[in-house]
Chain A
Amino acid sequence: MLPISYYIGLSAVLFSLGAMGVLIRRNAIVIFMSIELMLNAGNLAFVAFARYYGSVSGQIFVFFIMTVAAAEVAVGLALMVAIFHTKQSIDVDQMNSMKG
């Protein structure tokens, strides 16, 4: 068993990559995927600490986060489809008006 600092470090790197993805990319779907990457980094930290403290509650939280992510993706991708139908684009720079 490695010290969990290794896992926390990896989790921090993955989270930073996800944050960069949200800031750099203009494609709304790729931004969405970056958010998933950040959620996943959080999950990794949760599982590492669950292992460290010998408490299974951390893993239960990961389970709930996965559920929330699934719901988020279902609604989010439906939103993308709706936006694409009105704007013919999912570029976030184009989404600068509330209507039309």
Chain B
Amino acid sequence: MTTDLILFLVLATVAIASGVGMLFSRNAVYAALFLILNFGTVAVFYVLLSGPFIALAQVTVYAGAIMVLFLFVIMLLGAERTGRTPAVRWLRPLALGLGVVLMVEAAYIILTQIGAFPAGGAPAAAFGSPTQVGEVLFNRYLLPFEVTSVLLLVAMIGAIVLTKKQA
């Protein structure tokens, strides 16, 4: 077993365990904390896949900004207690069954295609560096990048309008 494989297996176990923890924790605050752990491990996977810039963006934007917003709203609303059983009794087993079917289906496809993607060689030294990402982002993807700014502005205005006291 190489170091890479051991690292991957340990991190994958943490990622899946935190995902399951999020799924089954009664308290929404614990669910959010499990999700932050999950995002952290995924950021480490990005580093392993030579995407240091994306990994940092993941930590700051996802694990930082987005999850702080989640925790803030959970605590603001006092909505952390959950645990009511669904109104439809057979919903939970059905959902679990369908989820397992989805997972088995994905596993089947991946296992039958496992030879289609042999391990790649080492990428160029600068691959995924902030410099390279920036160059591609501001040349080839300049228009989408500018459209994103409009999207964020619209989201900001929407959030303000929605939470404003009805006059």
Chain A interface residues (CB < 8 Å from chain B): 1-10, 12-21, 23-27, 29-30, 32-34, 36-37, 40, 43-44, 47-48, 50-52, 54, 56-57, 59-60, 62-64, 66-75, 77-82, 84, 90-91, 93
Residue in A closest to B160 when the chains form the complex, CB atoms: A78
| B8 in contact with A6 (CB, 8 Å) | yes
Check A56 against B98 for contact (C-beta < 8 Å).
Answer: no
In the bound complex, how far is the Cα of B75 from the Cα of A92, in angstroms? 18
CB distance from B156 to the nearest CB of A (A): 7
Pairwise interchain contact A21-B70, C-beta atoms closer than 8 A = no
Measured CA separation A70–B62 after assembly (Å): 8
Q: Is the CB of B156 within 8 A of A47?
A: no
Contact, CB under 8 Å: A68 / B19: no
Please, how many angstroms separate the alpha-carbon atoms of A25 and B51 in the complex? 33
Residues of B within 8 A of A (CB): 4-5, 8, 12, 15-16, 19-20, 22-23, 28, 31-32, 35, 38-39, 42, 45-46, 49-51, 53-54, 57-58, 61-62, 65-66, 69-70, 73-74, 76-77, 79, 82, 84, 86-87, 91-92, 94-96, 98-100, 102-103, 106-107, 110, 113-114, 117-124, 127-128, 132-133, 136-137, 140-141, 144, 148, 151-152, 154-156, 158-160, 162-163
Do the beta carbons of B123 and A67 come within 8 Å of each other? no
A46 nearest CB neighbor, chain B only: B54
Complex CA distance for A37 and B42, rounded to whole angstroms:
10
A9 CA to B62 CA, complexed, in Å:
22
Contact B152 A70 (CB under 8 A): yes
Q: List 6 A-B contacts (CB under 8 A).
A: A3-B119, A13-B103, A33-B32, A54-B120, A63-B54, A69-B62
Contacts of B54 in A (CB 8 A): 47, 59, 62-63
State in angstroms the CA–CA spacing of A1 and B50 once bound together: 10
B103 x A71 contact (CB < 8 A): no
The complex places the Cα of A60 from the Cα of B31 at a distance, in Å, of 29
Distance in Å from the Cβ of B129 to the closest Cβ of chain A? 9
Q: Per a CB cutoff under 8 Å, which of A7, A56, A75 touches B127?
A: A56
User: Is the pair A74, B69 in contact by a Cβ cutoff of 8 Å?
Assistant: yes
